[in-house]
Amino acid sequence: MQDILSVFPDREVEEIIREASKIMLEADNHRMRVEKKDGAANFVTEYDVKVQRFLEEKFTALLPGCGFLAEEEGENENPLGDGYTFIIDPIDGTTNFMFGRRASCISVGVFYNRQALYGAVYDPYADRFYSAKAGQGAYLNGERIFTADRDPSVGIAYIGSAPYYREKTGRIIAETTYEILMHFGDIRRLGSAALEICSIASGEADVYCEPILSPWDHAAAGLILKEAGGIVTDYHGDPLGYNGPSSVLAATKASYDTAQNLLKGMV
Ligand code: LIP
C-alpha cells in the first residue's frame, strides 16, 4: 500500500473535484431537471448526473482502467475490484442542493485492491476541502485536523433520518433522537452525511449516526474521520462494508462507546 500511496495523484484528483464543483455552483436551482428515484423524497437532478459523468471521465483519463461505484446511473455489480475503484456521491445533500440550501458536497472515496486509499469531501459553498490518505492524517484545506476530546454530555450529535427508508426507520429515528438527546449535549441534522461526518473530523461535532446509509455517502468521510482520530463502524460495532447500505455510527473516541451502547439494539 505504501508504494501505491507514494504514487497516487492526489493533487490531480483534488483539481478534478474542484473543477467538477463549478457545475454545482453554476446550477440554476429554479429550472433544473429533477427525477424521482426509489424511496420517499429521493431525487436526482441533472447536476448530480453531470458531476458524476465529469468525474468518471476525468478519473478514467487520469487512472485508465479504474472502476466506479457511484450513486447515479450505471450498474454497480462488482463494487470493489482489483486496482483503483472510485466510490462517488456526486452531490451529497441533493435535496439541499435542489432547494438552494448551501449544505451539499462532492464525496470521492478511492480504494486500491479493496483497501481504502484516499478520501475527499469538498463543500464548494464554504470552500472546505477535507482529505485524507491512508495512514497519513486528515486535512481541511491543507491544515491537519483532529477530532475533539469532549465529554459526551456536552457533545453535538448528528442524527441522519434515512428519509428514503422512513417506513422501516421512522420509529428507530424517534427512539434514537430521544436516547441521543438524553445522553449528549444537543442534536443536529444537516442533510449531508459526508459533511456531518467530516464535521466530527474537524472537531466541530462528536457523533453522527444513521440507520441506513449507502457506501457512497460514507466511503470518503469515513477514511477522513479515522485519519483524524475518530471511529467509524456500523451500529453493532462492526467494520463498514461497501456492497450495500448499512447502519453507520461515526464518533470521537470520547463519545463512541456511549453512542454505540445506545444504538446497538436499534437495528
Ligand atoms: C443523503 C445523505 C443523508 C441521508 C439521505 C441521503 P444524497 O445523500 O447525505 O445523510 O439521510 O438519505 O442518503 O442522497 O443527498 O446523496
The rounded mean pLDDT for the chain is 95
C-alpha span between 133 and 148 (Å, rounded):
20
Nearest to 233 by CA among 245, 216, 251: 251
Please determine, for residue 148, whether its predicted confidence score (pLDDT) is greater than 80.
Answer: yes
Which residue out of 208, 217, 246, 249 has the highest number of ligand 1 atoms within 8 Å of its CB and is therefore the one to mutate? 217
Please determine, for residue 74, whether its predicted confidence score (pLDDT) is greater than 80.
Answer: no
Q: Which atom of ligand 1 is least distant from the CA of 39? A: 12
Question: Does ligand 1 have an atom closer than 6 angstroms to the CB of 92?
Answer: yes
Ligand 1 atom 12: residue of nearest CA: 162
How confident is the model over 226-240, as a mean pLDDT? 98
Question: Does ligand 1 have an atom closer than 6 angstroms to the CB of 162?
Answer: yes
Q: How far is CA 90 from the centre of its chain?
A: 11
Nearest to 250 by CA among 261, 235, 265, 262: 235
Question: Does ligand 1 have an atom closer than 6 angstroms to the CB of 192?
Answer: yes
Match 464543483 to its residue by C-alpha cell: 21
Nearest to 102 by CA among 126, 128, 76: 126
Nearest to 64 by CA among 90, 84, 78: 84
Nearest to 251 by CA among 224, 231, 266: 231
- DSSP 8-state secondary structure symbol assigned to residue 114: T
C-alpha span between 15 and 26 (Å, rounded):
17
How confident is the model over 159-171, as a mean pLDDT? 94
Please determine, for residue 41, whether its predicted confidence score (pLDDT) is greater than 90.
Answer: no
- DSSP 8-state secondary structure symbol assigned to residue 119: E
Nearest to 187 by CA among 173, 202, 198: 173
Question: What pTM did the predictor assign?
Answer: 0.96
Tell me how far the alpha carbon of residue 82 lies from the centroid of ligand 1, in angstroms.
28
Question: Does ligand 1 have an atom closer than 6 angstroms to the CB of 93?
Answer: yes
Tell me how far the alpha carbon of residue 4 lies from the centroid of ligand 1, in angstroms.
31
Match 456500523 to its residue by C-alpha cell: 234
pLDDT band with cut points at 50, 70 and 90 for residue 77:
low
Q: Could you tell me what percent of the chain has a pLDDT over 90?
A: 90
How confident is the model over 105-123, as a mean pLDDT? 98
Nearest to 104 by CA among 92, 89, 116, 121: 92
Match 495523484 to its residue by C-alpha cell: 9
Q: What is the pLDDT of residue 38?
A: 86
Q: Which atom of ligand 1 is least distant from the CA of 160? A: 11
Please determine, for residue 162, whether its predicted confidence score (pLDDT) is greater than 80.
Answer: yes
Quote the cell numbers at residue 246: 448499512
> Are residues 131 and 113 in contact, defined by beta-carbon separation less than 8 angstroms?
no
> Are residues 217 and 105 in contact, defined by beta-carbon separation less than 8 angstroms?
no
